[in-house]
């Protein structure tokens, strides 16, 4: 079957409570499972919008959504990135609430019911998120997102800025009107557009944001996925933080938090780069990366690594590889 660019379902309700927005780029292998999880929801008053963002696996993607073609809106556009794809979905969405789901993630059957109960509780929130369990990679199975990137206390601009509260996009349910008001996703960012939007919602719209620690999503991490590349994630966050630094309305404490977060993200990115260079045998670049990390946030551990690298680089590599192999968390070069 050939699926039209705006396939519409005769079964849709005119005013669904929730619009589910799913960007698709190189996720054809996972899309059927993702959609199956959506249509298995205990809460049923929703519409589904899949946006093909110029994906090279379009034939396979359209085969994957064939089972549900009668119940989705399917849009196609030239490749513009996840932010532009989500914006395309937002512009046609008819629901009062929107839920964002990556095309390789999976909702548990009670996801929408639980999140809608939360967003309408305590006088009403503007955005809610939850925990997700990671799967698909040898180092991620069984761990949750909040174990590695926790949320602590009330969600504020300050806490989002400094990483004390971390939003997992595939767990988000939000009020559409507020997202439209603050200007949707910033398409100039190749990644971390979601981080930028959460910050603008908190700062510009004074959005009420909360979360629950229940695991309601299975988040797929695999070699080649953007979420699995920590360096790219940190680089994306740094671009967003550079945008935040140009704001004239930051308080002194917010600017201090911004500077500390930038230093921490640069340090983390350089440490991971250093480890990758070390594993690949590029000792000169490993030294430069660890030196950059130590310049941001000095550490005796980094100084020890640098001393060891300069004295016995090959032995340092062997020791590190053995340690990472034992822990099962070796970083691939």
Q: What is the pLDDT of residues 257-277, one digit of tens each?
A: 999 999 988 888 888 888 888
Check: CB of residue 209 under 8 Å from CB of residue 198.
Answer: yes
pLDDT > 70? residue 136? yes
- Report the pLDDT value the prediction gives residue 8, as an integer from 0 to 100: 45
**DSSP one-letter string for 211-225:** EEEEEEEEEE--TT-
Place of tokens 């016995």: 312
**pLDDT tens figures, 57-115:** 999 999 999 988 889 999 999 999 999 999 999 999 999 999 999 999 999 999 999 99
CATH H-level, domain 18-228: superfamily: Spore Coat Polysaccharide Biosynthesis Protein SpsA; Chain A (3.90.550.10)
In this prediction, residues 163-190 reach a mean pLDDT of 95
Burial of 60 (0-12, 13-18, 19+ CB in 10 A): middle
> Whose CA is closest to 51, among 78, 24, 33?
24
> Whose CA is closest to 181, among 128, 130, 127, 244?
127
> What residues contact residue 288 under an 8 Å CB cut-off, 6+ apart?
none
In the chain, ranges of CATH 3.90.550.10 domains: 18-228
Q: How far apart are CA 250 and CA 245, in angstroms?
A: 8
Consecutive H or E run containing 259? helix 252-280
Q: How far apart are CA 19 and CA 328, in angstroms?
A: 39
Confidence at 292, pLDDT banded by 50, 70, 90: confident
Consecutive H or E run containing 130? strand 127-135
- What pTM, to 2 d.p., does this model score? 0.87
- In this structure, how many other beta carbons lie within 10 angstroms of the beta carbon of residue 123? 6
Q: How far apart are CA 75 and CA 202, in angstroms?
A: 30
Q: How far is CA 86 from the centre of its chain?
A: 13
Least confident of 176-190, 192-206, 222-236: 222-236
pLDDT > 70? residue 331? no
3-class DSSP assignment, residue 21: strand
Q: What are phi and psi of 103, to 5 degrees?
A: -70, 0
Q: How far is CA 118 from the centre of its chain?
A: 21
């Amino acid at each position: 079957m050939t699926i039209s660019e705006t396939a519409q379902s005769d079964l849709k309700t005119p005013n669904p409570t929730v619009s589910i927005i799913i960007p698709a780029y190189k996720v054809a292998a996972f899309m059927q499972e993702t959609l199956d999880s959506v249509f298995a929801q205990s809460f049923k008053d929703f519409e589904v919008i899949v946006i093909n963002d110029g994906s090279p696996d379009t034939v396979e993607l359209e085969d994957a959504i064939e089972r549900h073609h009668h119940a989705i809106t399917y849009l196609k556009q030239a490749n513009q990135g996840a932010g532009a794809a989500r914006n395309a979905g937002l512009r046609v969405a008819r629901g009062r609430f929107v839920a964002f789901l990556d095309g390789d993630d999976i909702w548990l059957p009670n996801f929408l019911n639980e999140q809608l109960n939360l967003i309408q509780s305590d006088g009403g929130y503007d955005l809610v998120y939850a925990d997700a369990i990671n799967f698909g990679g040898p180092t991620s199975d069984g761990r949750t997102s909040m174990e590695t990137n926790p949320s602590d206390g009330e969600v504020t601009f300050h806490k989002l800025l400094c990483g004390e509260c971390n939003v997992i996009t595939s767990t988000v349910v939000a009020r559409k009107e507020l997202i439209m008001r603050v200007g949707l996703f910033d398409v100039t960012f190749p990644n971390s557009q979601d981080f930028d939007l959460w910050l603008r919602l908190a700062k510009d719209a004074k959005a009420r944001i909360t979360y629950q620690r229940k695991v309601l999503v299975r988040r797929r991490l695999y070699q080649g996925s953007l979420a699995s590349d920590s360096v790219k994630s940190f680089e994306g966050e740094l671009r967003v933080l550079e945008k935040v630094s140009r704001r004239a309305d930051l308080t002194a404490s917010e600017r201090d938090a911004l500077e500390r977060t930038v230093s921490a993200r640069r340090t983390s990115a350089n440490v991971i780069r250093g480890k990758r260079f070390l594993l690949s045998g590029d000792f000169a670049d490993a030294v430069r990366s660890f030196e950059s990390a130590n310049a941001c946030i000095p550490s005796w551990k980094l100084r020890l690594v640098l001393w060891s690298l300069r004295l016995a680089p090959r032995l340092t590599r062997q020791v590190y590889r053995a340690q990472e192999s034992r822990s099962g968390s070796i970083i691939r070069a």
